[in-house]
Amino acid sequence: MEILDSGTPAKDVSSLETSPDNSLRSLWQEAEDTPGITVVYGTATDAAQLKARNYDVLIFTARQEGPLPLPGMEHIRHLQAAELLTSRELPEDVRQIVVVGGGATGCEAACRLAGEPGRKVHVVEMLPNFMEGVRADKRNQLIRQLEQAGVDLVNCARVTGFADGVVYIERNVSAGIPDPYNTHQPMLPKNIPAPLAGESSDGIYIDQLTADLVVLATGNPGRQLFQEALSLKAAAEIYDIASETGTEAEEAAYRLACRI
Return the domain boundaries, the chain.
2-64+222-259, 73-216
- Cα 114 to Cα 117: distance, rounded to the nearest angstrom: 7
In this predicted structure, what is the pLDDT of residue 100? 94
What is the Cα–Cα distance from 16 to 18, expressed in whole angstroms?
5
Contact 67, 81 (CB under 8 A): no
Tell me the whole-structure pTM to 2 decimals: 0.61
Instruction: Output the pLDDT for position 60.
Output: 78
Q: What is the pLDDT of residue 67?
A: 58
Residues in the chain where the model's pLDDT stays below 50: 6-21, 43-44, 64, 190-193, 197-200, 243-245
Look up residue 189 and give its DSSP letter: P
Of 14, 10, 1, 80, the closest CA to residue 45 belongs to: 10
Asked if residue 212 lies in contact with residue 165, where contact means CB atoms within 8 angstroms, the answer is yes
Residue 238 has a pLDDT of 86
Q: Label residues 5-15 b or e (16+ Cβ within 10 Å = b).
A: bbbbeeeeeee
CATH architecture of 73-216: 3-Layer(bba) Sandwich (3.50)
